[in-house]
Amino acid sequence: MFKLNFARNADNLKKKNGKPDKSNNAQSGVPHKKDMLPYVENTSKTLTKNNEIANDLFIKHDVKRGLRNANGTGVVVGLTRIGAVDGYKINEKNEKVAVEGKLFYRGYDVEDLVKNCIAEDRFGFEEISYLLLFGDLPNKKQLAEFNELLSSHRELPVGFARDMIMTAPSANIMNKLARSVLALYSYDPTPDDLSIPNVLRQSIMLMGYFPPLVSYAYQAKKSYFDNESMHIHNPLPALSTAENILRMTRPTGEFTKLEAKLLDISLMLHAEHGGGNNSTFATHLLSSTDSDTYSVISAAIGSLKGPKHGGANLAVLKMISDLKKNVKDITNHKEVEKYLIKVLKGEANDGSGLIYGLGHAVYTISDPRAVILKGMAKELAADKQLLDDFMLCDFIEKRAPVLYKEVKGTDKPMPANVDLYSGFVYNALNIPIDISTPLFATARLSGWCAHRMEELIAGKRLIRPAYICVQKPLDYMPISKRK
């Protein structure tokens, strides 16, 4: 471990009073740019008016908004053998019937996969990655060979960390991660080769690279945007993905076995979630165009970055932080309940009226990932003396669905989703909030790569959905006559 001081590009990375100088004069030699704010504020009103579409038109044309059927189920757009999400059944009246949630990887119940790794006291994320990619559980020899390939690609290409990450840091790690993946295209001798062996090579390489990509992006962000010391640790080939992440994000590089095992389980639970989630569908969508692996994965990262998708775990962390600022004693459930009611009324937290960490598009009674993670989180809470924080999550899980019904009058199932307890786990592990969603991307990369190859092998057809234009024809008007 060493502290790194580097000379920043004078034109792009100047600081003013210890903070980034974002003024137009920060770049010497660049002419003054006209303030765009008045223009965009004024013209955006016209833009908004000209893009509004009446709700009854969606009904008239039977548009499946959000690719959802009238009963709330997803529109079927493809077939997959990789993952299955069971959260409801459809009865003879075409109605959704709530059932206990189940998640399957290549036909295997994820609960069985996690339980066996715990019972055998070993890390399981790499095995899950192998299973998702190849469709079979590896034997010891196959897993050892796969781990060796991953380990050999923990080190980034020579100069990449300095040239692509340190000299161009980003305040958002997901943004930097997507840019880094795109940049790796230039380091690949055959980036556009769509043969399965080549795409498999690229996939394994990216799986190896992701821990240092995330960790170094975080360290650069800390130094440039937060004015904190940057600590760079080289990845160790002998360590698992979870161990390397903890090693490279912490100043001292130290971690306990329990911490690494719990992060490993979190990665296992986030690795795949069927083909219908937004980022995986984006992977299928771009892969159907025969685009390169780096463009496809960077698009998936961009999708996951959104707060309605992968960014939801970040929303949980921010909500809990806001709760603690406004509730002096988190063991006082009456005060916690008052806060949650304010959240639902849009009077607390971000004003959205949402209690994050509850509800899911598919799961109705339970999210199996949350059930598994909750059991492990309780053990971590006892070890870290954070039982009050754990019981806070437990109270939110049990009481908030009732408050939803009382305050908003909704009967929609609101089980705890994986974000509620992954947020607690990340807090307990002292994982920086900046990398909570990037860790999600690190886990989901395995699923994305598996789905990309499935699309190349079985899809073989450009995905091209249809839109109906509801704009009436207009007569052209010469510019001299326009108001």
- Give the catalytic positions in this structure: 309, 360, 419
CA–CA gap between residue 90 and residue 71 (Å, rounded): 9
Encoded tokens for 85: 């999400």
Compute the radius of gyration of the chain from its Cα atoms: 24
With vertex at residue 300, the alpha carbon angle to CA 298 and CA 301, rounded to the nearest 5 degrees, is: 65
- Residue 242 and residue 264 in contact, taking contact as beta carbons nearer than 8 Å: yes
CA–CA gap between residue 393 and residue 317 (Å, rounded): 11
